[in-house]
Structure 1
Amino acid sequence: MDRLCKECGVKLTGRADQKYCSDYCRNAYNNRINSDSKNLIRNTNNQLRKNYRILEKLNPDPTTKTSRNNLLSKGFDFNLITSLYTTKKGQTYFFVYDYGYLPLKDDLLAIVKKN
């Protein structure tokens, strides 16, 4: 029985465990198979980078206050964070890498940077 390339269907010659006729076909096959999950990961990472840049731009000082609406107007997605930090007093900071925010009263947020 002839062995065929998984991507293009060309007859394979050579090693018994060979699956592809070339590196191009191997890469094309794997890119096609993994494209759905990679789009989700790519989109999530892009939004995390955007969130990070927004927090970085709004926080030139060690701590800054801003409104929730200000972040939303710049495209910040509150559903995507990288970590949480809860203080001994029970306050929860939401972090995007080393920049974080603490929800305050009246839709205000305190933006901080980890040292």
Structure 2
Amino acid sequence: MKENTNQRLCEECERPLFGRTDKKFCSDACRNSYNNRVNADATNFVRNVNNALRKNRRILVDFKNGVGTKIHRDRLLRAGFDFDYHTNTRETKAGEMYYYCYDLGYQVLTDGEVLLVSKPDD
């Protein structure tokens, strides 16, 4: 009996494939395993960025006591706040820059002070 050298194999486990001609995986488990392995670097990067953003927001929630709360940036840093991570920015007509972590934000003032704010309703 002649061996079939054109046998299609699963891209993850290399078992023979049966069925549709465009099939790439023998099972959902192999498809998931393959995609998780291929996307691991990108997934870890996104996870780390999202964790930093959520942590920043939690810190803002902890320190914000109402409208116009001011705090020294060193207190935010000691709590683990990372000024490199924010979801968006807004510049006022007066040229003041606000940085937001989702719905909560801050404006860096003089002398190391930071004004904590909520995102304005659009």
Task: Please report the TM-score for the alignment, with normalisation by the length of structure 1.
Answer: 0.97
Structure 1 residue runs of 4+, over 2 Å off? none
Whether the aligned pair in 1 keeps the contact of 2:100 and 2:119 (CA below 8 Å) is: no
Partner of 2:3: none
Q: Which has more radius of gyration?
A: 2
Selected match of 1:82 from 87, 91, 96: 87
How far is 1:60 from its partner? 2.4
Selected match of 1:48 from 35, 44, 53: 53
How many pairs align? 115
Matched, 1:58 2:63: yes
Query: What's the CA shift string for 1:55-88, capped at 9, x where partnerless?
Result: 0111121220001110100111100111111111
Matched, 1:104 2:109: yes
Q: Percent identity?
A: 49
Please list every run of 5 or more consecutive structure 1 residues that lacks an aligned counterpart in the other structure.
none
Structure 1 CA distance, aligned partners of 2:93 and 2:58? Answer: 29
Task: Please report the TM-score for the alignment, with normalisation by the length of structure 2.
Answer: 0.91
Matched residue SS, 2:39: helix
